[in-house]
A and B are shown apart, each in its own frame.
Chain A
Amino acid sequence: MTTGLGLAVLLLGGMVLAGSMGYLHVPPGEVLDIALSGFRGRTDGLDPVAVTVVREVRFPRIVTAVLVGGILALCGAVFQAILLNPLADPYTLGVSSGAAFGASLVIVLQIFGLVLPELYTVPVFAFLGAVSTLFVVLLLASGDRRLSSTSLILSGVIVAAILSAAIGLLKFLADEQVGIIIFWLMGSLSSASWKDVLLLAVVGAGGLAIVLGQAQPLNIMATGERTAVTLGVQTVRLRWLMLITCSLMTAVCVAVSGIIGFVGLIVPHLLRHSVGPDNRYLLPLCFLGGGLLLLAADTLTRAVLPAEVPIGVLTALIGGPVFCILFRKRQQEQGG
């Protein structure tokens, strides 16, 4: 409870602080005034340039970072619980490869001069790619009626491997313009808009409600299939519900921000370490913690570093070593 309150306060403070940071420095107090002015509908006495910068440029990006980070961490925790595998992340069922394939495909088609209606943008294709991959993976895995975690993970690996080869082919076809694909794959929050925020907020709120309603059944899944069934958990149904809910949430995130790794892996790990594995507390905390982590990383690349490093690269560069340390520490604690 205290951890949750602490994280929530940190997150709100972090959002204000992040709003003040950047090329144009706006004092945190003024950021708060600008934020509150949105509710009052009046901006008297505030610098109009600061109002525009904070409201139209920084806030959409900040809120997007928080929501994407929160959703990825939440989904990571759910995937780990459902697959009984601490190494699972929101991309385990090939959502990221599918999105990358969809995005690469449309980028290459555009390079070849195909003009698509405005509706069919890269994010839309990324989303479609992610969703269709998810269904192929589930179809492949559902040959096993109990939908075991081994079947799911293997199906994800197989499909991801095929898609990664296909993406390689697309990169080869893109030739000199391969940079566009690579840039998209590395993830970025720089083009976030209020439209993205709205989409993420709706999807995030719905998904969070569904997932939190199953927190105790997810705990019981940790005792294995046989015990879980005899405790009244409809394991197959629960797996389907969680996999589809979380993969769709992840697909929306990927469509908005590209592929951002490690948040979904590392946040559940860190929090499970400090507050224990009970999903009733862990899941909401993951949402807050993931939001905080991605906000910090995005603010770092946006306002602190001399050049904007793609966020996906940054999270992997920081998250990777942190994960190594955690991993070693756990090995020592458990004696190998």
Chain B
Amino acid sequence: MWLADDVAFAYGRQTVLDGISLELQPGRCYGLLGPNGSGKTTLLDLFCRLQTPDRGTLAVQGRSLSAWPVPQLARVQALVPQEFLIRFRFTVREVVEMGRHPHLPRFGSLTADDHALVDSVMAELDIANLASRPVTELSGGEKQRVAVARALVQEPAGLLLDEATSNLDIYHSLTILDVIRKRVTRDGLTVLAALHDLNLAAWFCDELIFLSQGRVVAMGRVEEVLRPEIIGRVYGVEAMVREDDFSRALQVSYRLQEESR
């Protein structure tokens, strides 16, 4: 789905990403992990063409990113930002319908199929009852569900999540991620999710990519790379990883390293 080959990017003289090479297979769920400022958001921005790399190449579905016209790219990938902001009092339904925009001809309006899709995605994310409410009046959790619905209505092959549930409580966080996870298993959706919570990542993702100071430190299946020494190298904390029967995922506990306490 996504490919990066020796990608480097700097804001002015501040190097953010350096020598990033990744190959993300379709139908897998990837977690992008790393401390603040490690370049997670920038990497997502590069894949969205919000920034252009200083060096290296990026590709989406085997086609160089710069060869993708922006409107066509929106038919194969979607982004859910950390915080969904909107100016003016658009209703929930109006915002979700915006997700169909990349698929419509100019002056074209939504077909019956489009409306059915919007209805079913809104029901799935439990926001159908909010349809005519202005998004500006919703709570953070509701807004984020609207943002995810908007992205799913785009029917993307790849979904980029930028800390999409970081500001939400555990219940809302899990329900949203569960809806997305089902689409990975059922429809072969590919996900690249920048995450902060290691335990959430262990539960949600198939594979993890650890970034530190703009470089890939480790990459592989969750069981292979979610290891104390890697977490220690990336975050500078002491960690312990064990299998957890209750959440049926790996569980990480951590504390500050002895010498720095």
- State the A residues within 8 Å of B (CB): 81, 84, 86, 213, 216-217, 219-220, 222-227, 229-234, 272, 276-278
Contact A224 B86 (CB under 8 A): yes
* Given known A84-B87, A232-B102, A272-B88, contact A226–B50 (CB-CB < 8 A): yes
A216 nearest CB neighbor, chain B only: B101
A234 nearest CB neighbor, chain B only: B70
A27 to B94, CA, bound (A): 47
A222 nearest CB neighbor, chain B only: B87
- What 1/0 mask marks residues of chain B from 62 to 104 whose CB sits below 8 Å from any chain A CB? 0000000011111101110100111111110011001101101
A119 to B233, CA, bound (A): 75
Contact B94 A278 (CB under 8 A): yes
Interface size on B, residues (CB 8 A): 35
The verdict on B49 contacting chain A, using a C-beta distance below 8 Å, is: yes
Further contacts, 16 of them, CB under 8 A, given A227-B81, A276-B89: A216-B104, A219-B98, A220-B101, A222-B90, A224-B87, A226-B50, A229-B48, A230-B78, A231-B98, A231-B99, A231-B101, A232-B70, A232-B75, A233-B70, A272-B89, A276-B94
Tell me the minimal C-beta distance from B49 to chain A in angstroms.
7
Contact A213 B107 (CB under 8 A): yes
B49 nearest CB neighbor, chain A only: A229
Q: By DSSP majority rule, is chain B's interface helix, strand, loop, or mixed? A: mixed
Contact A278 B101 (CB under 8 A): no
- State the B residues within 8 Å of A (CB): 45, 48-50, 70-75, 77-79, 81, 84-91, 94-95, 98-99, 101-102, 104, 106-107, 147, 150, 154, 160
Tell me the minimal C-beta distance from A236 to chain B in angstroms.
10
Contacts of B101 in A (CB 8 A): 216-217, 220, 231-233
Contacts of B89 in A (CB 8 A): 272, 276-277
Contacts of A233 in B (CB 8 A): 70-71, 101
Tell me the minimal C-beta distance from B243 to chain A in angstroms.
37
- The listed residue with most A CB atoms (<10 A of its CB), out of B91, B95, B98, is B98
* Given known A276-B91, A278-B94, contact A230–B86 (CB-CB < 8 A): no
Contact B90 A219 (CB under 8 A): yes
A245 to B17, CA, bound (A): 39
CB pairs A–B below 8 angstroms (18 shown): A81-B88, A84-B87, A86-B87, A213-B107, A219-B90, A219-B98, A220-B101, A222-B90, A223-B86, A224-B87, A226-B79, A227-B150, A229-B49, A231-B74, A231-B98, A232-B71, A232-B73, A278-B90
Tell me the minimal C-beta distance from A109 to chain B in angstroms.
44
A84 nearest CB neighbor, chain B only: B87
Contacts of A225 in B (CB 8 A): 50
A280 nearest CB neighbor, chain B only: B109
